[in-house]
Amino acid sequence: MPGRFMLSTSSQKISWVLRALAGLLLVGALAACQSSSQPPTPISGPVSTPSIAGQADEESGVTFAFEPFTGAPGNIADELSEYIGNEARKQGITLVRRVGAAATYCLYGFLAATGQSSNRTVFYVFDIVDNNGRRLKRISGTETTGGASGDPWQSVSSSTLSRIATRSMVEIEAWLNRK
């Protein structure tokens, strides 16, 4: 019964992807439920935050501080930080360094990569949080990348990270304009 075996394998793949997505959502939900105003501790070693953005928004004075990304390896987090800083400048969004700088909002980023050898998926979630620790907006999405064997992060290209940064900053700008 070859057809039945293939259905079982396909079901296992779908089940695995759903479990990975459920895990990512659980991590995001737990992070949103924290009563402490302290950011979650990164799972891996230190990762950088986005670089300082360009001009301040003189009309509203709104600034954003990015906390270190959770879930992504340092090299991926560093590259995504650069793209976010560049895209923020294009969108007129002001980013500040977290250390010693006041900001209107904090952004917490959660990333995960999963997939099979034929394709990989990067899941991303950014929570905009006010100074009281209350989540005001959640930005989430997925980006499909090419397949590779081994670590799913190896197939994450610069163009994938650029798309994540662009979509996230465009959504933040749209959210600011609706407020």
Q: Which amino acid is at 55?
A: Q
pLDDT tens, residue by residue, 65-82: 988 889 999 999 999 999
The answer to whether the beta carbons of residues 146 and 118 sit under 8 Å apart is no
Kindly indicate the confidence band of residue 178, based on its pLDDT and cuts at 50, 70 and 90: confident
Given a cut of 90, whether residue 46 has pLDDT beyond it is no
Burial class (CB in 10 A: 0-12, 13-18, 19+), 122: buried
In three-state secondary structure terms, 135 is strand
- Residue 67: HSE in the Cβ half-sphere, 13 Å Cα cutoff: 23
Query: In this structure, is the dihedral angle defined by the CA atoms of residues 81, 157, 176 and 128, taken in order, positive or negative?
Result: negative
Those residues with Cβ within 8 angstroms of residue 18's Cβ, 6 or more apart along the chain or in another chain: none
Give the pLDDT score at 68.
85
The answer to whether the beta carbons of residues 119 and 133 sit under 8 Å apart is no
Q: What does the block give as tokens for 1?
A: 């019964």
Residue-number span of the structural domain to which 44 is assigned: 2-178
Q: Which amino acid is at 3?
A: G
pLDDT tens, residue by residue, 127-147: 999 989 999 999 999 999 887
Closest CA to 106 of 43, 26, 35, 172: 172
What is the tally of structural domains in the chain? 1
Those residues with Cβ within 8 angstroms of residue 24's Cβ, 6 or more apart along the chain or in another chain: 110, 112, 123, 125
Query: In this structure, is the dihedral angle defined by the CA atoms of residues 43, 108, 97 and 78, taken in order, positive or negative?
Result: positive
The gap from C-alpha 94 to its chain's centroid, in whole angstroms, comes to 18
Give the pLDDT score at 8.
44
Q: Which residue has the tokens 């991590």?
A: 27
Q: Is the pTM of this model over 0.85?
A: no
The gap from C-alpha 33 to its chain's centroid, in whole angstroms, comes to 18
Q: Dihedrals φ, ψ of 153, to 5°?
A: -70, -20
Looking up residue 111, the CATH number of its domain turns out to be 3.30.160.100
